[in-house]
Amino acid sequence: MTERYDVVVVGAGPAGSLTARYAAAGGARTLLIEKRQEIGSPVRCGEGIARHFLDECAIAFDKKWVAQEVSGAKVVSPNGSAFKIDERYAGNEVGLVLERDAFDKALAKDAAKAGADVWVKTSAVGLLKDDGTVTGVRVKRLEEDMNIEAGCVVAADGFESQVGRWAGIKTLMKMADITGTLQYRLTNIEPDPDFPHYCEFYLGNQVAPAGYVWVFPKDECTANVGIGVSLDRLKSKMDLKMYLDRWIEKDPRMKHAQFLDMVTGGVSTSPPIAETVRNGIAVVGDAARMIDPITGGGIGNGCRAGRILGEVLATCAETGDYSKEALQPYEKGWRAELEEPLWRNWMAKKTRRSTRSSPPSRPRT
Ligand SMILES: Cc1cc2nc3c(=O)[nH]c(=O)nc-3n(C[C@H](O)[C@H](O)[C@H](O)COP(=O)(O)OP(=O)(O)OC[C@H]3O[C@@H](n4cnc5c(N)ncnc54)[C@H](O)[C@@H]3O)c2cc1C
């Protein structure tokens, strides 16, 4: 069975849903596919996002997907001294703590409202190609194998992305540019003057080597309490648990805390990939390593790049031209908005960890 669309977006995370929404709103016949049976679930995220992303991507604020509004970030240094940053200046992850499953569903609903078809339990398993140009995607929908022809396939398939690689785009990362994470949802936390009003970050090699511990409040006694450590600093995955449990034991607010869930996952802390478009394909969000290399925040950047890509795809649909040249406004557009801070933060991350005398530099592209 073969279907035909202008645009097929693989992955209904924030980047994929925004791409699908803006492509469909601009008139492209758009399909959004998601391998999981439920969009947004299970949640593998600290769920923090800065408010400005909502305005930038025209996402209408809805209390249904907001767990907690915070005043800012509280950053605690290795010697225990703390400083606070107003949420307007506190980076990609601070402002709202989301109900991420509801948020992702809301973004997919917006895409559907704009005219996109949305299929869940549908996995991309390969690409259709003609003479090096991507012409569609092979999918497994429930138990059925299908070919979907498309002017453009969008790889919005997240950290573990394969779709870009199938098209020959280099997405592999170095160990030092991957952070292993472990996060507990804890409840029965004792409030204090700062909790639950701040997203908290705890730094230091004793706490989390080349990473940090976070406490993102979900309500007055519940929080996402997680740790990220660079993979090249971990001897075993159990180290993550050891560091996090040790930190929790020392925090008096956590004395009677109880577990609601536990998740693990990888986060890229690499610079963005060198090319995000080829003939008939574009890569967006975590799949393109658009996540902030210092904080690991990627929801907002994925939304912003998705908006840019969707608008470009709508223009492509008018002419039927999805060549690498026609997709350049996306390549140039997202780089103009996001690339400089991503490289700057990657270099800052490397410099903070570097034992070499000369700081790392950005290669010429
Ligand atoms: C523990 C942890 C905590 C984090 N905390 C924060 C935070 O507080 N704030 C923040 O901004 N960021 C955070 N992040 C990062 C954030 O989750 C990502 O940057 C964000 O989800 C990226 O969005 P995306 O749309 O690019 O990818 P994703 O949200 O990963 O979406 C990709 C989608 O593609 C689907 N998919 C994959 N392969 C296929 C396939 N073959 N076929 C069909 N569908 C497929 C997946 O099921 C998934 O739904 C955290 C990450 C982790 C692991």
Query: Could you read off the pLDDT of 121-160 as tens digits, one per residue?
Result: 999 999 999 999 999 999 999 889 999 999 999 999 999 9
Provide CB contacts within 8 A for 21, sequence distance 6+.
Answer: 107, 110, 111, 113, 114, 116, 306, 310
Is residue 281 within 8 Å of residue 169, measured between CB atoms?
yes
> Strand 277-278 vs strand 258-268: parallel, antiparallel, or unpaired?
unpaired
> Percentage of the chain with pLDDT > 90?
86
pLDDT tens digits, 159-205? 999 999 999 999 989 888 999 999 999 999 999 999 999 999 999 99
Task: Provide mean pLDDT across the span 319-324.
Answer: 98
Q: Which of 179, 156, 191 is nearest to 8 (CA)?
A: 156
> What pLDDT does 364 receive?
53
Q: What is the pTM of this model?
A: 0.95
Instruction: Tell me the range of 220-229, 236-245, 351-360 where mean pLDDT is highest.
Output: 220-229
> What pLDDT does 175 receive?
87
Q: What is the 3-state secondary structure (H, E, C) of 240-306?
A: HHHHHHHHHHHCHHHCCCEEEEEEEEEEECCCCCCCCEECCEEECHHHHCCCCCCCCCCHHHHHHHH
Domains and CATH numbers, the chain: 2-46+102-173+270-353 (3.50.50.60), 71-98+175-268 (3.30.9.10)
Q: How does residue 216 score in pLDDT terms, banded at 50, 70 and 90?
A: very high
Task: Provide mean pLDDT across the span 232-241.
Answer: 88
CA 13 to ligand 1 center in whole angstroms: 6
Closest residue (by CA) to atom 13 of ligand 1? 297
Q: How does residue 274 score in pLDDT terms, banded at 50, 70 and 90?
A: very high
Closest residue (by CA) to atom 18 of ligand 1? 298
> d(Cα 19, Cα 303) in Å, to the nearest integer?
8
> What pLDDT does 354 receive?
58
Q: Which atom of ligand 1 is nearest to the CA of 263?
A: 1
* Ligand 1 pocket by Cβ (under 6 Å): 10-16, 33-36, 44-49, 92-93, 123-124, 156-159, 181, 183, 226, 265, 267, 285-287, 291, 296-300, 302
> What pLDDT does 356 receive?
43
Rounded CA Rg of the chain = 20
Average pLDDT, the chain: 94
Query: Ligand 1: which of 57, 120, 267, 294 to mutate, most ligand atoms within 8 Å of CB?
Result: 267
